[in-house]
A and B are shown apart, each in its own frame.
Chain A
Amino acid sequence: MKRRSLFLNTTAIMGFVFLYAPIISLIVYSFNKSKLVTVWGGWSLKWYTELFNNQQIIDAALVSFKIALVSASLAVVLGTMAGFVLSRMGRFRGKMILSGWITAPLVMPEVITGLSLLLLFVAMEGMFGWPSGRGTGTIIIAHTTFCMAYVAVIVQSRLASIDETLEEAAMDLGAKPSTLFFLVTLPLIAPALISGWLLSFTLSLDDLVIASFVSGPGNSTLPMVIFSKVRLGVTPEVNALATIMIAIVALGVLAAMYQMRRQTKLLSNHE
């Protein structure tokens, strides 16, 4: 094994400390017995019990999960279509504009995305009467919009790494473009779709700013509830909630990484 220098070791340790110290302290404090967030009073699970008895948080969590589930799924469908068009259609009129529009949500400040979507929804309601009012539906639309940008980018880069002759071979063997998409392209990009879905799910679960703009009364998402609670002072309950969310997100990231590795292995040998 290569000998590691003191410098590299120190850097690695510092990196880990910076990244994980806040999270670890949060997790530890979620098991705190004391009512005061900053004072350690021994181990306890009482904040978790309280959390599960708090109907407001449970409701918000359910809303958030529902939104994340639906918008991640929609984002994968729409993002795949966009990524596919961008990487396989060759040159066409308006390709630059399309690819610009698709990547815009990645770089656009969330405040602007949220505000512009709110204005759109209000204008649409005035013109067609739909969407009537704002609520879960509008949040789903908004989340799908920015999540599909991530999916499109992931799918596009995955498609770029797949040998196009595979698709030609399928055509040559009698598969029409629609068949070959489902039989060859989709299975090959499936891991990218899964990681795109997981990423979208996490992003949607995370989002506070855009949701605040486009949500209606009685449709607060979990981040919105946490944020409003924190404004009144941090309670250990929030720590418990955050710990659970970290666990979910960590699982999602691990699953996405596993998918990516599996795909790399699958594609590595076919050259």
Chain B
Amino acid sequence: MTLSQHSELHTSSKTNSVEIPLWKQEGAEPFLKIENVTKKFGEFTAVDNISLDIYKNELFCLLGGSGSGKSTLLRILAGFESASSGRILIDGIDMAGVQPWNRPVNMMFQSYALFPHLTVADNIAFGLKREGVARSEVKQRVDQMLDMVQLGHLGKRKPNQLSGGQRQRVALARSLIKRPKLLLLDEPLGALDKKLREETQFELINIQEQLGVTFVVVTHDQEEAMTLATRIGVMNNGVIVQTAEPHLVYEYPNSRFVAEFVGSVNLFEGQIIEDLPDSVRIRSKEAGAEFFVNHGISCAPNQTVHMAIRPEKIKISRNKPEQANNWIEGVIEDIAYMGSLSVFKVRLASGKDVRVTQPNFVRDMGARFTWHDKVYLSWQIDSSVVLTS
């Protein structure tokens, strides 16, 4: 890319959101292709036969707890670890045997890994100087990067003279200056406090759209993944459990693990009683009720399944709901006032606790209910999902 093209990108409008995303297009060529990659450390399998396609300009989040293998996968992409088996193709080129310093990939480290003995400007220039770029161009591009991350005035400082948020920006600028095709970000916002994290999230998305770099982000923070990602890959025990767009991961989790890992959820064990044309009927002993769910799944009668419902999709009331089904009754065991919403813990006759959140849409909403109140919990047929695994 020439400099003029680069500056054009700065002024170009954001990616057109009406466009059909590449991952939905039949036959679209993935930019990053992970094929059956396995990584073993002795007996331990950190990454277990993962196959994944990531497309150009995506901001893909690998979401998982510690030890899920997400960081190992990232390190394999960067070239710091070599896969025990499988292939990695970036832009169609097999990365087998390509050393980290020769890959068209840059990484932003969780600890930022800024060189403490170099100034901010020298840190950012490091990658360009290794390429043998002319001194005047290095200076120009470093200044451009410093402006982009709004640190134009701090180029002469040393990393230990910067705040956490400023260091994060320097790390980002340093990893972007070589204009990598693929940027790997390891918990990019993990070391920032909550408020700063929220601001930086949007900045990160802006920069990604501006430069048109493909991002692969590793995070354990589901909120971060939700806001950042075009798609999320949820990882557990070295396996990607579900790959989908953020709202689909949340609304249509494909397993109990995903439902519980992303957000909070109430699970009811039950049996399929009837497979109706547009819904299923489930009998749950735990809930002491029958439920109808219209989320189409393939299941057999009498199969044991779990019905999952998110706390915010449950309505709590003192009066018996008018609807014929999809309601249960219980007693308020606990109330937590969180400012914007109230959280209720409702105990059913079976002893099971159900978590319900209600936005505080009037003042003193929580005060309308009190401990040991008998309440009815109800929801719509399209509020819950059925999980078979």
Contact = CB atoms under 8 A, between A and B. Distances in A.
Interface of A: 163, 165-166, 168-176, 179, 183-184, 187-188, 265-271
A174 B101 contact: yes
Contacts of B111: 163, 165, 271
A184 B126 CA distance: 10
B55 interface: no
A165 B111 CA distance: 8
Contacts of B107: 168-169, 172
Given A184-B115, A271-B111, 11 more contacts: A165-B111, A165-B113, A166-B116, A168-B78, A169-B109, A172-B101, A172-B105, A174-B127, A176-B99, A269-B160, A270-B160
B109 A165 contact: yes
B178 interface: yes
Contacts of A188: 116-117
B116 A173 contact: no
B88 to A, nearest CB: 15
B159 interface: yes
Contacts of A175: 101, 126, 130
18 contacts: A163-B111, A165-B109, A165-B113, A169-B174, A171-B80, A171-B100, A172-B78, A172-B100, A173-B127, A174-B130, A174-B131, A184-B115, A187-B117, A266-B117, A266-B160, A268-B160, A269-B159, A270-B160
B116 A168 contact: no
Interface string B68-105: 00000000001010000000000000000001111001
A166 B115 CA distance: 7
A165 B78 CA distance: 12
Interface residues of B, number: 25
A91 to B, nearest CB: 12
A271 B191 CA distance: 10
A267 B116 contact: yes
B38 interface: no
Most chain B CB inside 10 Å of its own CB: which residue of A165, A168, A169, A268: A169
Given A175-B101, A175-B130, A176-B101, A170 B160 contact: no
Contacts, number: 72
> Which secondary structure dominates chain A's binding surface?
helix
A184 B131 CA distance: 16
Contacts of B109: 165, 168-169
Nearest to A186: B117
Nearest to A179: B130
Nearest to B78: A172
B117 A168 contact: no
Contact of B115 (A170, A171, A268): A170
Most chain A CB inside 10 Å of its own CB: which residue of B78, B99, B107: B107
B57 interface: no
A173 B114 contact: no
A271 B114 CA distance: 9
Contacts of B102: 174
Contact of A173 (B80, B130, B159): B130
A168 B80 contact: yes
Contact of A270 (B101, B105, B106, B114): B114
Nearest first, the 8 A-B pairs at minimum CB distance are: A269-B160, A173-B127, A174-B130, A169-B113, A165-B113, A270-B116, A171-B100, A187-B117
Contact of B113 (A166, A183, A265, A266): A166
Nearest to B180: A172
Contact of A170 (B99, B105, B126): B126
A184 B124 CA distance: 14
Contacts of A267: 116
A266 B116 contact: yes
B216 to A, nearest CB: 14
Contact of B100 (A166, A168, A184, A187): A168
A204 B114 CA distance: 38
A270 B159 contact: yes
A268 B160 CA distance: 8
B117 A173 contact: no
A168 B127 CA distance: 12
A258 B111 CA distance: 28
Contacts of B100: 168, 171-172
A169 B178 CA distance: 13
Most chain A CB inside 10 Å of its own CB: which residue of B111, B113, B174: B113
Nearest to A190: B117
A176 B101 CA distance: 6
